[in-house]
């Protein structure tokens, strides 16, 4: 087990904020995690389990214990004519899992190529992109209850999955640490190619898992900044879902407003469009910027602090609220 004191989290958050944590603790296996859970000092301290920090905003130094898993490995635990069940350690880099599945000809996660972060966090977040969500490929999530110290194997339908959420993010549920995720992947791919951008890139090409993965990577690289080059956490806000009456009122004023159907007859509006309409695209304030190709992405231009990024986010939120009457909710988790 690795234990560090006053540890810089600069390499553990994709905004590359130089926040420090009082303690950093990395466990190698479930036995070590059990020891941590039973430790009285750990129980008394503020703690947070992180992955690669690609969805986190550290507002200041963390006066507690940051926990990180080093559990890796991918293993086929079951197989039949149609499916393969792949059990993956929580610390496996998600995109490496996608690359592996695609190389084996197993479908179900190819549209989720190049999403930063680790596999445990992917299951916590219910990552999604280009018409696919990880929940549809999840068979089980293995997780340890921080309060009872017991392990539970959650079936996908017990994980409380919704848009970028799960029971593992729900403050009303017992906190859990994810150690393994088992994916159920298809031997005969069922391609999801409804997204216009994906269709455009794939036009005239033979549709294979690798072709879809390559197309997704090309689209993402063209429109999203590489966190290694320009610190960011992807989409800063979630796409808001509003009721039809509100949407119709807005459409009278803004006939071009884009929209997608959402559950319960509601309407999803792209947050990026709302932010762009408020004039924020490409704007800079000090060391914080709104990415010039995608207004939904806030970037660290060099030496931004978490506070400054939060301030920019607040200006955006209030401008969108004033103009459209829509409350944007951050997708990024603020850590104070
Ligand atoms: C450039 C860029 C593009 C992105 N594009 C997308 C996208 O298309 N779709 C999408 O859905 N997301 C996207 N994201 C967001 C991000 O990649 C995902 O949310 C990802 O799953 C976060 O993984 P992580 O390992 O960095 O987790 P972190 O950011 O470290 O943590 C995320 C959450 O998971 C919890 N957590 C992490 N590991 C565990 C564990 N083992 N057990 C329990 N809880 C845990 C943390 O406490 C936190 O609440 C993007 C981010 C960036 C920077």
Whose Cα sits closest to atom 11 in ligand 1?
A: 127
**Ligand 1 center to 177 CA (angstroms):** 14
Pocket residue to mutate for ligand 1, from 110, 124, 178, 197, most atoms within 8 A of Cβ? 124
Say what percent of the chain tops pLDDT 90. 97
Specify the pLDDT at position 66. Answer: 98
Specify the pLDDT at position 273. Answer: 97
Whose Cα sits closest to atom 12 in ligand 1?
A: 127
Asked if the model's pLDDT at residue 237 lies above 90, the reply is: yes
Q: Do residues 131 and 167 make contact, with C-beta atoms less than 8 angstroms apart?
A: no
Which CATH number is 302's domain given? 3.90.78.10
In 3-state terms, what secondary structure has residue 11? Answer: helix
Give the binding-site residues of ligand 1, using a 6 Å CB cut-off: 14, 48-56, 69, 90, 115-118, 120-122, 124-125, 127-129, 164, 168, 177-178, 224, 227, 232-234, 333
**Ligand 1 center to 255 CA (angstroms):** 34
Task: Indicate if 149 and 184 belong to the same structural domain.
Answer: yes
Beta-carbon neighbour count of residue 76 at 10 Å?
Answer: 12
Q: Tell me the two tokens of residue 276.
A: 């762009």
The domain in which residue 283 lies consists of: 231-335
DSSP per residue, 156-210? GGGS--BTTB-GGG-TTSPPEEEEEEEEEEESS------SHHHHHHHTTS---HH
Average pLDDT over the chain, rounded to an integer: 97
Beta-carbon neighbour count of residue 286 at 10 Å?
Answer: 13
Whose Cα sits closest to atom 1 in ligand 1?
A: 234
Q: Do residues 146 and 174 make contact, with C-beta atoms less than 8 angstroms apart?
A: yes
Task: Indicate if 280 and 166 belong to the same structural domain.
Answer: no
Residue where one domain finishes, among candidates 166, 190, 223: 223
- Rounded to an integer, what distance in angstroms lies between the CA atom of residue 36 and that of residue 197? 46
**Ligand 1 center to 322 CA (angstroms):** 30
Specify the pLDDT at position 263. Answer: 87
**Ligand 1 center to 178 CA (angstroms):** 13
Instruction: State the pairing for strand pair 47-50/62-69.
Output: parallel
Stretch 58-83: mean pLDDT: 97
Specify the pLDDT at position 285. Answer: 95
Per-residue pLDDT tens over the stretch 136-177: 999 999 999 999 999 999 999 999 999 899 999 999 999 999
Asked if the model's pLDDT at residue 299 lies above 90, the reply is: yes
Residue where one domain finishes, among candidates 69, 92, 109: 69
DSSP per residue, 118-133? BHHHHHHHT-EETTEE
Asked if the model's pLDDT at residue 53 lies above 90, the reply is: yes
Nearest-atom number in ligand 1 for the CA of 176 is 43
Which CATH number is 31's domain given? 3.30.43.10
Task: Indicate if 211 and 248 belong to the same structural domain.
Answer: no
Task: Indicate if 266 and 169 belong to the same structural domain.
Answer: no
Task: Indicate if 61 and 89 belong to the same structural domain.
Answer: no
Stretch 288-301: mean pLDDT: 97
Q: How confident is the model at residue 86 (pLDDT cuts 50, 70, 90)?
A: very high
Instruction: Give the residue numbers marked as catalytic.
Output: 164, 235, 331
């Amino acid at each position: 087990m690795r234990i560090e004191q006053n540890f810089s989290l600069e390499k553990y958050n994709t905004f590359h904020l130089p926040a420090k944590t009082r303690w950093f603790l990395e466990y190698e296996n479930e036995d070590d995690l059990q020891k941590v859970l039973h430790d009285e000092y750990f129980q008394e301290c503020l703690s947070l389990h992180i992955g690669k920090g690609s969805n986190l905003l550290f507002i200041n130094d963390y006066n507690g214990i940051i926990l990180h898993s080093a559990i890796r490995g991918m293993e086929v635990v079951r197989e039949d004519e149609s499916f393969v069940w792949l059990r993956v350690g929580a610390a496996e880099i998600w995109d490496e899992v996608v690359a592996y599945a695609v190389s084996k000809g197993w479908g179900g996660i190819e549209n989720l190529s190049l999403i930063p972060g680790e596999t445990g966090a992917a299951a916590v977040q219910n990552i999604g992109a280009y018409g696919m969500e990880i929940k549809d490929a999840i068979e089980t999530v293995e997780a340890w209850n921080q309060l009872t110290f017991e392990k539970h194997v959650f079936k996908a339908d017990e994980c409380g999955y919704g848009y970028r959420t799960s029971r593992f993010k729900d403050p009303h549920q017992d906190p859990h640490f994810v150690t393994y995720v088992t994916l159920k992947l298809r031997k005969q791919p069922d391609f999801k190619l409804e997204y216009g951008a994906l269709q455009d890139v794939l036009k005239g090409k033979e549709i294979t898992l690798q072709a879809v993965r390559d197309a997704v990577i090309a689209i993402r690289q063209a429109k999203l900044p590489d966190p290694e080059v320009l610190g960011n956490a992807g989409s800063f806000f979630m796409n808001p879902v509003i009721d039809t009456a509100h949407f119709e009122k807005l459409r009278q004023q803004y006939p071009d407003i884009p929209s997608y159907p959402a559950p319960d007859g509601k309407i999803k509006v792209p947050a990026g469009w709302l932010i762009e309409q408020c004039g924020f695209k490409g704007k800079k304030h000090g060391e914080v910027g709104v990415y010039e190709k995608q207004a939904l992405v806030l970037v660290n231009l060099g030496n931004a602090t978490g506070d400054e990024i939060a301030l920019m986010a607040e200006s955006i939120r209030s401008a969108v609220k004033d103009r459209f009457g829509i409350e944007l909710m951050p997708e990024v988790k603020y850590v104070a």
